[in-house]
Structure 1
Amino acid sequence: MRTLTPQARQPRSRCTHKQPCPSADSPDHEAAVAVSAHPEQGWTLLCNGVLLFDDTGELLPDGQVIAPHRPLTATA
């Protein structure tokens, strides 16, 4: 059985925009353009290969997980 590396499964970037979107390893990677959105399932795929989840968690193309980072809500 052949094991694929994360790079073999996912291209580094799917961005073909005239002004390229930030790469997945860039601090502003969430600013990339959405190429597929499924709000009913709670996720959006960006052209740089990042999966954004509605709970603000992320999955990077290399398999790294970024835990949800919601802002704290103000309490009265």
Structure 2
Amino acid sequence: MCQHHPLCPSVEASDREAARVRSSHPEQGWTLLCNGVVLFEDTGELLPDGRIIAPRRPVAVAA
């Protein structure tokens, strides 16, 4: 998919969210990256093969 140089991180890379933005729709809460990943404003992700990455929610620390 990516034709940038250097290439955007692959879907399998741990830094896949660093790929360039292809389409941004903040009013709808999602962004499509060059590598085909859809990022949601709640930090969840939808990968091109249909896998879902759950949102990363902050963990409360006991005082």
Query: What's the TM-score once normalised by structure 1's chain length?
Result: 0.74
Structure 1 residue 53 and structure 2 residue 40: aligned? yes
Q: Give the Cα–Cα distance (whole angstroms) in 1 for the partners of residues 58 and 17 of structure 2.
A: 16
Q: Give the Cα–Cα distance (whole angstroms) in 2 for the partners of residues 38 and 71 of structure 1.
A: 24
**Corresponding residue for 1:7?**
none
Quote the RMSD (CA, aligned, Å): 1.7
Deviation at 1:61, TM superposition (A): 0.5
Instruction: State the SS of the aligned residue for 1:30.
Output: helix
Instruction: State the SS of the aligned residue for 1:24.
Output: coil
Q: Which has the larger radius of gyration?
A: 1
**Corresponding residue for 2:18?**
31
* Identity fraction in percent: 64
Instruction: Note the residue ranges of structure 2 that are not aligned, 5 or more in a row.
Output: none
